[in-house]
Structure 1
């Protein structure tokens, strides 16, 4: 799993117990899943359809750094299924795992639409492809 995002736990992120509020962490995870999907599917109209069971394993406190990792599980016709882990960088403990986040690709009318993707594409691959296409046009 690739951990691309880090969040700094601040006082406004805490619950009444003085630890990271679960809702805040789920918001961070949802945002990361949407951003990852937008980049993979090359469409800014992506929404969360489903989030599986959420298993909280540990927590974080103010000043801790939380890392969020995303991994592709499956490419559907109009969806992308991801799994996620958030871990405490300071303690190296997993805070939460989410086995399935289903993200749906939408068209301008807000309807699910095929995305045509079948595998992970990294930015370097996309740049190489676009560079090759640009040189063919020259």
Structure 2
């Protein structure tokens, strides 16, 4: 799994117990999944269709640095299925896992559209290919 984003847990991210609010971390996960999908599918029109069971495993507190990892589970015709792990950057303790996040590729009409992708692509490889042509 690749960890692309880091977040600092700030006072406004805390719940009444003084730990990272679940809704805040879910918003971070949703944003990260969307950004990852936009880059993979090369389309800015992406929506979240589904998130499977969310497993909160440990707490994060103010001042902790957390990192969000995303990994492709599979490519569908119009979708991309991901899994996610949020962990503490300093001790690698898992904070949250989500087994399946389904992101859907939309066409100009706002309806699901085939994306034509079948494997993970890295931007550096796309750039190298475009320089060769």
Which residue does 2:54 correspond to in 1? 54
How far apart, CA to CA, are the structure 2 residues paired with 1:74 and 1:5? 21
Alignment of 1:1-138 (within 5 A): 1-133=1-133
- Native 8 Å contact 1:59 1:88 kept in 2: no
Q: TM-score, normalised by structure 2?
A: 0.98
- Native 8 Å contact 1:3 1:68 kept in 2: yes
C-alpha deviation, 1:92, in angstroms: 2.1
- Native 8 Å contact 1:34 1:46 kept in 2: yes
SS in 1 for 2:26: helix
Q: Matched residue pairs, number?
A: 133
C-alpha deviation, 1:43, in angstroms: 0.2
How far apart, CA to CA, are the structure 2 residues paired with 1:59 and 1:27? 16
- Structure 1, unpaired ranges of 5+: 134-138
How far apart, CA to CA, are the structure 1 residues paired with 2:127 and 2:91? 37
C-alpha deviation, 1:67, in angstroms: 0.4
SS in 2 for 1:91: coil
- Native 8 Å contact 1:85 1:98 kept in 2: yes
- Native 8 Å contact 1:47 1:104 kept in 2: yes
SS in 1 for 2:115: coil
Q: Which has the larger radius of gyration?
A: 1
- Structure 2, unpaired ranges of 5+: none
Residues 41-65 of structure 1, C-alpha deviation per residue, up to 9 Å, x if partnerless?
A: 0000000000000000001000000
| Regions of 4+ moved over 2 Å | none
